[in-house]
Structure 1
Amino acid sequence: MEGSKRDLEDDELSVPEKHSKMEEEATDDKNCSEGLVNVLAQFQSESGETVGPPIELPLALARDKLQLILNALLEQEEITPYSFFVNEKEVTGSLSGAVDSSVSEEKVMTILYQPQAVFRVRAVTRCTSSLPGHAEAVLSVSFSPDGQHLASGSGDTTVRFWDVYTETPHFTCKGHRHWVLATAWSPDGMHLASGCKAGQILIWDPTTGKQMGRALTGHKQWVTSLCWEPLHLTCDGESKRLASAGKDGDVRIWNTKLGSCEKVLSNHLQSVTALRWSGEGLLYSASQDRTIKVWRASDGVMCRTLQGHGHWVNTLALNTDYVLRIGAFDPQSLMKSRPEITPPEERQACAAKYYKEHLAAAGGVERLVSGSDDFTLFLWEPAKDRKPIERMTGHQQLVNDVKFSPDTRIIASASFDKSIRLWNGFNGKYIAVLRGHVGGVYQIAWSADSRLLLSGSKDSTLKVWNMSTKKIDIDLPGHADEVFSVDWSPDGQRVVSGGKDKVLKLWRR
């Protein structure tokens, strides 16, 4: 009976899983034939801290047993799931599958561990709604920090809000005079900012669809990027300050409550293409002048210029983007059907707590990655050094989008060369290439548990990629034309996509 059950389990394995299993068994046999049965191992966190003394472990030790040993060494009250790595190779079955022939019984082998999300996001498999309404291409789609609201910006000059439960239109917001090129949710979830090709920025209330305050005007050409001040840096847990970038080469910091421009940061020689407001109070701006500038958001002083790219810098991502996005919403609470709402007076403290925990898991350092028209990416620690950690090469055409996984461990980059590449989030080393699209990849989005990656492409499809197999999990056709924008809700429940066919599509399990 036990044997037949095991056969059945083997039959249920996917082809990549079978190959992985066969490879591990082959490695097991190889190590055993060489007489190597046990290894001396030392557990180490991503920040370099060791746990307990080196201990002797059998090579045949399964991953779930490693979990138990580490939790015992850490004296955890509750069992926490971890990922394990030996020489940057993940332990997916037994320890032997990640060990190479250079390991000896005398040498201490380091096993890196990293906490996994305790929740698991399931891959979306079907389109539950096609939402028409926009009269031109959908240029941006995004869920609010709690996943309860959905917004889109379009070439038809409108911003629209949609009901995620009934999957129907909610509000149509008119006020822009030209294409809506950029949208950004405030981390408290109370406001949505939108910027258009006429250089105008408007703030919207997602609960009423009404414009809040007056239009923010000052950019002399179109608005290319928007980002809000991180919630833990606010004085009262309310999002007020917004940064905007323009084709005019300026970065502006606004007080949205007063409707005034606090600072104009002018040092770029060409259009500013991307903005990030870091949890350390710094602003990063990328430009077509091939540079990235580091500004102090409090007084607008330029701290340094990051140079190295040979062409336009298109995109930026921080390893803290996920925690800055969700603000004061507890990542565990987001998985519930109705997330718990943090009282306003506690928001700033909650956001600061989540940010501190997230940064500690990332090794205590905020890292920035940049992608360019020169086909390359650079990984930086921009708060302290103007030299990059790594120059990341391999793409054959320009890099459109780049995102850190929520657990900060992996960087994904999307390119017009029809591929997505994966890189180590700590040192920028190449991990794998994901191929399957037959057109350029415009945008990517991670699931909240970092186990799945979503991509939208010029070929009119979305694809869901599995990070353990590095293969396509689900192929999602359905759009009639190019898919410009995709987002995965922070609660993991939904995916939204929009593009040239003027339609939003919602996807669920």
Structure 2
Amino acid sequence: MPEASDLPDPSRIGSRVAFSRELTLLRQRAGLTVREVAASTGDFRNHSTVGDWFAGRGLPSAASRELLVRVLAACGVDDPQPWLHAWEGLRRLPGPRARGPAPYRGLAGFEAEHAEWFFGREAMTAQLLGRLTALHETGGGCLVVVGASGSGKSSLLRAGLIPAVRRDGLGGVPYDVGLCTPGPRPREVLAAVPGGERRLLVVDQFEEVFTVCVDDAERQASLTALVGLPDTIVVLGLRADFYASALRHPELVAAIRDQQFTVGPMSESELRRAIVEPARKAGLEVADGLVELLVTEAGPRGGGPGWGRGTGALPLLSHALYATWQHTRDRRLTVGDYREVGGIDGAVAASADAVYDALDAADRDLARRLFLSLVHVAADTVDTRRRVGVEDLIAECGEPAQRVRAVLDRFVDQRLVTADADAVHLAHEALLTAWPRLREWLAVDRAGLLVGRRLHEAAVTWQHEHRDPAALYRGTRLAVAREWAATKGPHGAIGPVARAFLDASLAREAAELGAGRRRTRRLRALVAALTVLSLLATGATALAVRAQRAADRQRDAAVSRKVAGELADLRVDNPALANQLSLAAYRLSPTVEARGGLLSALSSPYAIRLTGHAGYVHKVAYRPDGRLLASAGGQREVRLWDTRDPRRPAPAGEFVAHEDFVAALAFRPDGRVLATGSGDHTAALWDVSDPHRPTRLAVLTGHTDLVAAVAYRPDGDILATAGVDGTVRLWDVSAPRAPVLRATLGGTAAVTAAAFSPDGATLATAGEDRTIRLWRLTGPPAGVTAAPAAALTGHTGTVAGVAFSPDGTVLASAGADHTARLWSVAAGTALGTLEGHTEAVNCVAFSPDGRTLATGSVDNTARLWDVTRPAAPATVLVSHTGAPGDTGSIASVAFSPDGDSLASGGYDHTVRLWQLPGPPSTGLPGAVRPMTLGGDGHRLYLSNGATGTALRWTIGDGRLTDPVEVPAGGAAAFSADAGLLAAASRTDLQLRDLTGPAVGAELATRPLAGPPDERLVAVRPDGRLLVVLSIHFRTGEVWDLGDARRPARVAQFALDAHTNSLNSAFFAPDGRVLATAGFDHTVRLWDLADPAHPAAAGVLEGHTEPVNAVAFSPDGHTAATTGNDRTVRLWDVSDPRRPAALAVLIGHTGYVDGVVFGPDGRMLATAGVDRTVRLWDVTDRRAPTAWATLTGHSAAVNSVVFGAAGRVVVSGGEDGTVRFWDTDTARVAARVCALAYPRLTREEWAQYFPGLPFDPPCGPA
């Protein structure tokens, strides 16, 4: 029997959410869809109105009473009075502050019935109607509406386009309008859309075809059906980040190429209308100051952090306005109200946290599981929201229906979650990034979430295929799923279909194991018999010895692989142990896995972990002589560490310093006194001349809140203490046992940072008012005074840290706006901004030589920046203290006085000592592609997709030159030998010099032939010939670069041999052959021996998905190709007109992108979406073998090249980093042992190598 909570009951209706819930229960009990209920009322046009009632988006009006009665009757209600009574009671309740309808939608999108509230997109709606009218006049077709998440695509389609077509038709001709979203079964959705003589079908959230739909056959069938709909104009709403996914399907390429409509950010005037007009319609006023602030923060001028100049800000802007409207107490929305609710940066998080914090502990855990169930976690693309049936969601959570609905209702009330008639989903995907708590949940166990998602998808496919046994899990996938279900699954509730699928898989495995055991027993009996016979034969002993050796080799190889497979997580937590284990595994048996583990050991910066703190480590500081390190903890303690040997640090002392956590530390310049600041509102001075017996000298009182920073003047006689109470106090500490307060610098905002200049004449302070203040100090300690000297503004969030360069000319600051900034102390002006962190920056520190700046962030990374050119700071090292979402936030960084180590402290309760210099790497704000090495192997050229910049990097000293501008959205190619950069936008070719004194100087700009299109660029190795290709129109043009300042077009040619868009292009080493890879699954070879007359040569056919890249061996006789089919293929192209397949390399678990041959042609490197670089021994072209798998990138790897005569592999990826991999195992082993501390113990060896003799690879502890 169903639970009482599952039966519809009008007496439970006390809110709009409850009304929608009980009405939905009523409909579900009747076994009807929303469409069927609407149809039964006698007019199908009621579908939208009725759908809103079920979804909780609206309440029946007085004029809709009769329609409500018909809906109740359709659902089987004989006596409508209890329902009507509950409805009338709701209508008598006042709305928010009794002010009528909400003028803003919050995160919820606009629907057709909200057209009267939809402002700001009138011009774009008219443009869209014009495009569709043109399609109508030419007989129909498909239009693809593309825009970033949060750009307003859905609202434009639903509240702009659909009402207009329903009202006016197209070209004066009436059209029936259908609206759908694909969901997991898009073919069924399309079949259910009503037909008509003339029909406009709007498919919103079309990206669900590539995310929610996991069945390839279903996806292909739906696409085929979509393009073949008769008498229908189709409009597809597609998120821009799934543009490439759509291009992989030939059915969509023509529409994307010829009929694309882009939804960009709103202009300032459009934003003003979207802000002001809804309020005016509701009888409200928006203060002018608030309008200007919102336009600045969300508009195309891009004031707010992370908004990409307004492109995806609309849902967050809408929610901020909705929350402001809820908060205001009169009919005027003000800046104060907006600030109170958190502004555009924090309104969503504030609303979500408010609901979450109001729940009890059990319901908070349920809320976490609910939200994780509403996210489609992706391995290779971005996460998206997931639409889940109410009953399925309840089953997945494993909780009573009433409790699940009660928790959901809390979030629905705040428009954070939408409860549709049949399903539940996040109100907008912006919630995935705007709510830090949800981001953290997704990151904490991302691997487990991916396992759960894949299990669910496999189970759905299995169910859809009538429980075909061939679709069941087995082997590793089954083992991983079983472990996840037992330990990671929410309360063991994984949904009935997934549970049945897993149980069936386990049952089949048990049956197969039983059969296997029986076979094994028979085999053992046979082996025993054969053994007896063998022992009787001549040479029995020799055979036994060889058999034992073979068995030992197999055992060692198995143990080696097992240990290598367990090191990924250990490398973050305990790199010293992980690196020694990787070397031990390799020496035990040099398996592919162990070799990859060893070569990956030092690809990331190496740190020694100092443990012992029981809470957060808020601050670290070196004594001026570098022989002692202090760390401040969250449990009132300070720990001292002996760092005389930085590779073998040891505890030196510990003491309880305060009655609350210790937030600040500073050594006096003579190193004998340590100053501390605390949450107990005091600072203290400690004698640490004997670190083993520190003693308190004095307590400094007067602050009324947290003392967040302490700083000594270089002479050691003045101490500054900075407080959250808004004051900075200057103390005469020339007599440490008797400090005297000499001056107080007042303010209104919390002060969180303070630092003295090297000459002691200037004090810098900063805090929550986003301003850095410089104070000029004069007078002796007994009469010191401070006067304001400058105020530095530019940060858009709290300034958490400041530091002077050793020469005192530059000041660095750390901000909550995700940036660090450099300032001229003399001029009081900004010099440069350091961008790359994805969360708040907590701290900054200069190296002793002033050439490098260290930053630490909430994003779990410390970065080192080359600041020798302050106007163009460049990242030279990125080190991670945990995966995104882990508690690895870095609170403090400090260089050792000799510059050889960097200490960091953070929220994972540990201190880390990073050994410098680390492995050369660089961090960029977007994907790295492509890369090219100069002929000497020491000059690296790369381009960065996010910033549209190209960089030249000298590997020897790890320094970057100034960025070279590339046209936005353009393609770049390099001629390393010629020192030339070629970049093509949609319309122009631009050439730049990378060799002269003015790096990046423009050499020439020329218009390209044909209509505007995305381009590909390939430069002949000698730099004297260039080919530019049109991706979608499949045309090419050849340019003579004999004089790069006067490039000349020498030929144009068609690439019609390709039947789909182009993907990449590469020259053979001799420059006579060009290879083009296409979405048609082929590679075409073109003869360019005569550049004026390009001619088609051979074709490489064999890939079953689009081909991504081509590489030629140094002698030009072999080509390697990579594709979305997860394979690498080798081809004999010694005769380009008759290429022949040689071998297929399998190993990557996702799309394979970059590929390159080593300098001698014996090694091949490939880069993949699976975040790995794989090395292959291709000495035998027909029988290549895997050599090593390199891991370390945190996202897809795009590009790979060989450097340093093949001894180094360089890779670049979507994580914005370039990594260097030493392929000399002996050299890597020596480096591992040089850094190894502490050494591998017998207990650790026994844990990982049970039963094997103790053989520590770097010697005993």
Counterpart of 1:281 (choices 1017, 1024, 1032) is 1024
Relative to structure 1, the CA distance from residue 438 to residue 193 in structure 2 (aligned partners, 3 Å threshold; closer, same or farther) is closer
Shift of 1:159: 5.6
Instruction: Check conservation: 2:1030, 2:1036, Cα contact below 8 A.
Output: yes
1:310 is paired with a residue of what secondary structure? coil
Counterpart of 1:248 (choices 986, 999, 1002) is 986
Counterpart of 2:1208 (choices 488, 494, 502) is 494
Counterpart of 1:402 (choices 1094, 1110, 1113) is 1110
Which residue in the other structure is 2:601 paired with?
Answer: 128
Instruction: Check conservation: 1:282, 1:297, Cα contact below 8 A.
Output: yes
Count of aligned residue pairs for this structure pair: 320
Instruction: Check conservation: 1:460, 1:482, Cα contact below 8 A.
Output: yes
Shift of 1:210: 5.7
Q: Which residue identity is paired with 1:292?
A: G
Compute the TM-score of the two structures, normalised by the length of structure 2: 0.23
Counterpart of 2:1049 (choices 302, 308, 320) is 302
Matched, 1:209 2:947: no
Higher helix share: 2
How far, CA to CA, are the matches of 2:1010 and 2:981 in structure 1? 15
Relative to structure 1, the CA distance from residue 484 to residue 490 in structure 2 (aligned partners, 3 Å threshold; closer, same or farther) is same
How far, CA to CA, are the matches of 2:1173 and 2:954 in structure 1? 30
Matched, 1:369 2:1075: yes
How far, CA to CA, are the matches of 1:131 and 1:244 in structure 2? 32
For residues 59-74 of structure 1, the aligned pairs below 5 Å read: none
Counterpart of 1:168 (choices 896, 909, 918) is 918
How far, CA to CA, are the matches of 1:201 and 1:500 in structure 2? 15
Relative to structure 1, the CA distance from residue 438 to residue 170 in structure 2 (aligned partners, 3 Å threshold; closer, same or farther) is closer
For residues 84-123 of structure 1, the aligned pairs below 5 Å read: none
Q: Which residue identity is paired with 2:1104?
A: Q
Relative to structure 1, the CA distance from residue 159 to residue 376 in structure 2 (aligned partners, 3 Å threshold; closer, same or farther) is farther
Which residue in the other structure is 1:316 paired with?
Answer: 1065
Shift of 1:255: 3.6
Deviations, residues 292-326 of structure 1 (Å, cap 9, x unaligned): 32111134222222522222322222221xxxxxx
Relative to structure 1, the CA distance from residue 129 to residue 392 in structure 2 (aligned partners, 3 Å threshold; closer, same or farther) is same
Relative to structure 1, the CA distance from residue 180 to residue 495 in structure 2 (aligned partners, 3 Å threshold; closer, same or farther) is closer
Which residue in the other structure is 2:473 paired with?
Answer: none
Q: Which residue identity is paired with 2:1059?
A: G
Matched, 1:443 2:1157: no
Which residue in the other structure is 1:260 paired with?
Answer: 1002
Relative to structure 1, the CA distance from residue 198 to residue 264 in structure 2 (aligned partners, 3 Å threshold; closer, same or farther) is farther
Counterpart of 1:390 (choices 1074, 1098, 1117) is 1098
Shift of 1:227: 1.0
Instruction: Check conservation: 1:129, 1:505, Cα contact below 8 A.
Output: no
Shift of 1:457: 1.9
Counterpart of 1:433 (choices 1140, 1144, 1160) is 1144
Residue ranges of structure 2 left out of the alignment (5+ in a row): 1-541, 555-594, 607-835, 839-862, 866-871, 879-914, 1226-1261
Deviations, residues 31-85 of structure 1 (Å, cap 9, x unaligned): xxxxxxxxxxxxxxxxxxxxxxxxxxxxxxxxxxxxxxxxxxxxxxxxxxxxxxx
How far, CA to CA, are the matches of 2:923 and 2:1214 in structure 1? 20
Relative to structure 1, the CA distance from residue 483 to residue 403 in structure 2 (aligned partners, 3 Å threshold; closer, same or farther) is same
Tell me: higher relative CO, structure 1 or 2? Use CA pairs within 8 A at least 6 residues apart. Answer: 1
Counterpart of 1:460 (choices 1171, 1179, 1194) is 1171
How far, CA to CA, are the matches of 1:272 and 1:456 in structure 2? 22
Instruction: Check conservation: 1:400, 1:416, Cα contact below 8 A.
Output: yes
Shift of 1:487: 2.7
How far, CA to CA, are the matches of 1:252 and 1:479 in structure 2? 32
Deviations, residues 155-207 of structure 1 (Å, cap 9, x unaligned): x99864579x9872668699xx9766555455465674645545455556664
Instruction: Check conservation: 1:415, 1:440, Cα contact below 8 A.
Output: yes
Q: Which residue identity is paired with 2:1086?
A: W
Shift of 1:366: 2.3
Residue ranges of structure 1 left out of the alignment (5+ in a row): 16-122, 137-153, 232-238, 321-358, 360-364
Shift of 1:287: 3.0
Q: Which residue identity is paired with 1:271?
A: E
Relative to structure 1, the CA distance from residue 412 to residue 482 in structure 2 (aligned partners, 3 Å threshold; closer, same or farther) is same
Instruction: Check conservation: 2:939, 2:952, Cα contact below 8 A.
Output: no
How far, CA to CA, are the matches of 2:951 and 2:1208 in structure 1? 27
Shift of 1:418: 0.5
Shift of 1:411: 0.2
Relative to structure 1, the CA distance from residue 161 to residue 226 in structure 2 (aligned partners, 3 Å threshold; closer, same or farther) is farther
Which residue in the other structure is 1:97 paired with?
Answer: none
How far, CA to CA, are the matches of 2:1189 and 2:958 in structure 1? 36
Instruction: Check conservation: 1:197, 1:223, Cα contact below 8 A.
Output: no
Deviations, residues 378-432 of structure 1 (Å, cap 9, x unaligned): 1122132422210211111111111001222210000011111111122322222
How far, CA to CA, are the matches of 1:377 and 1:167 in structure 2? 43
Deviations, residues 462-502 of structure 1 (Å, cap 9, x unaligned): 33223212232334455554333333324121224443556
Q: Which residue identity is paired with 2:1103?
A: H
How far, CA to CA, are the matches of 1:438 and 1:316 in structure 2? 24
Instruction: Check conservation: 1:295, 1:303, Cα contact below 8 A.
Output: yes
Instruction: Check conservation: 1:124, 1:507, Cα contact below 8 A.
Output: no
Q: Which residue identity is paired with 1:283?
A: L
Q: Which residue identity is paired with 1:224?
A: A
Deviations, residues 78-110 of structure 1 (Å, cap 9, x unaligned): xxxxxxxxxxxxxxxxxxxxxxxxxxxxxxxxx
Shift of 1:445: 2.2
How far, CA to CA, are the matches of 2:1128 and 2:1048 in structure 1? 36
Counterpart of 1:292 (choices 1003, 1021, 1036) is 1036
Instruction: Check conservation: 1:129, 1:167, Cα contact below 8 A.
Output: no
Deviations, residues 112-134 of structure 1 (Å, cap 9, x unaligned): xxxxxxxxxxx877313133697
1:491 is paired with a residue of what secondary structure? helix
Shift of 1:244: 2.2
Bigger Rg over Cα: 2
Relative to structure 1, the CA distance from residue 386 to residue 283 in structure 2 (aligned partners, 3 Å threshold; closer, same or farther) is same
How far, CA to CA, are the matches of 2:873 and 2:922 in structure 1? 7
Q: Which residue identity is paired with 1:266?
A: L
2:601 is paired with a residue of what secondary structure? strand
Matched, 1:470 2:1184: yes
Deviations, residues 128-162 of structure 1 (Å, cap 9, x unaligned): 313369747xxxxxxxxxxxxxxxxx9x9986457
Q: What is the aligned-residue RMSD (CA, Å)?
A: 4.2
How far, CA to CA, are the matches of 1:406 and 1:420 in structure 2? 18
Higher strand share: 1
Q: Which residue identity is paired with 2:1115?
A: D
How far, CA to CA, are the matches of 1:391 and 1:446 in structure 2? 21
Compute the TM-score of the two structures, normalised by the length of structure 1: 0.53
2:1096 is paired with a residue of what secondary structure? coil
Which residue in the other structure is 1:33 paired with?
Answer: none
Q: Which residue identity is paired with 1:301?
A: A
Which residue in the other structure is 1:328 paired with?
Answer: none
How far, CA to CA, are the matches of 2:926 and 2:1184 in structure 1? 40
